[in-house]
Amino acid sequence: MAQENIEGQEKELEKEIPETSEAENTEKGNVEEGKRESRKEKKEKSKVEALEKQIQELTDKIAKEKDDYIRLMAEFDNFRRRTSQEKLDLVSVAAEETIKGLLPVLDDCERAMEALAKSEDSQAAKEGTELIYGKLTAYLQSKGLSRIEAMGAIFDTDLHEAVAQFPVQEEEKKGKVYDVVQTGYTLNGKVIRFAKVVVGI
């Protein structure tokens, strides 16, 4: 009897507990599968984002390195140009100083030729002095030396240095160079010695 009661109670319990249908089980499985896929997608998405971030960082780093390299090359190029220019300037200044030192010799040659032209000395002395003067002027001209032709020119402070003024009667001679006391010279277009002149007023 007790046995029958127990079996009866079990049956009643089985009736009370609802049986899960196959459809419900499938639905639960689908939900769990969906959750797993969602987690997997999130993981993949975070991996993709991390990789994209890494790519962006590397791209920025490469761009910065490239910019630094271009700047360094530009600085080096400027340094090379500046150094070359400084060397050229140094050579030019040295040549200018040497030629400036030879100008008094050139002046002395001109004075010697003028003195020999007026004197009764031998023709050989005149020719020898002219030969030396000619060679010296030819050499200096090959280095870029030019004479400033001042006689009769309008007085120009960029080329001439007035040492005296001389009153003149003719109107067209006023403001012009009346006499040259010392010849002026330019070296490659730059004045290295102003022509010392007397200006007509």
Q: What pLDDT does residue 154 have? A: 93
Pair of tokens at residue 102: 């030879």
Q: Which of 12-21, 120-129, 171-180 has the lowest mean pLDDT?
A: 12-21
Convert the pLDDT of each residue in 91-147 to its tens digit: 777 888 899 999 999 999 999 888 888 887 778 888 888 999 999 999 999 989 999
Query: pLDDT tier at 90 (50, 70, 90 boundaries)?
Result: confident
Would you state the pLDDT for residue 5?
57
Query: Residue 144 in contact with residue 191, Cβ under 8 Å?
Result: no
- The position carrying tokens 């009897």 is 1
Q: Under a CB-based contact definition with an 8 Å cutoff, are residues 198 and 178 in contact?
A: yes
The average confidence (pLDDT) of the chain is 84
Quickly state the pLDDT bin for 33 (edges 50, 70, 90): low
> At 34, is the pLDDT very low, low, confident or very high (cuts 50, 70, 90)?
low
Residues 6+ positions from 174 with CB-CB distance below 8 Å: 168, 200, 201
Q: Which CATH number fits domain 146-201: 3.30.70.120, 3.30.70.20, 3.40.1160.10, 2.30.22.10?
A: 2.30.22.10
Higher pLDDT, 104 or 31: 104
Tell which wins on pLDDT, 185 or 20.
Answer: 185
Sheet holding 145-148, edge to edge: 145-148, 184-187, 190-193
pTM score > 0.75 for this model? no
Amino acid at position 33, single letter: E
Give 86 or 16, the one with higher predicted confidence. Answer: 86
pLDDT reported for residue 94: 80
pLDDT at res. 11: 59
Higher-pLDDT residue of 124 and 153 is 153
Average pLDDT over residues 169-194: 91
Contact status, residue 192 vs residue 96, Cβ threshold 8 Å:
yes
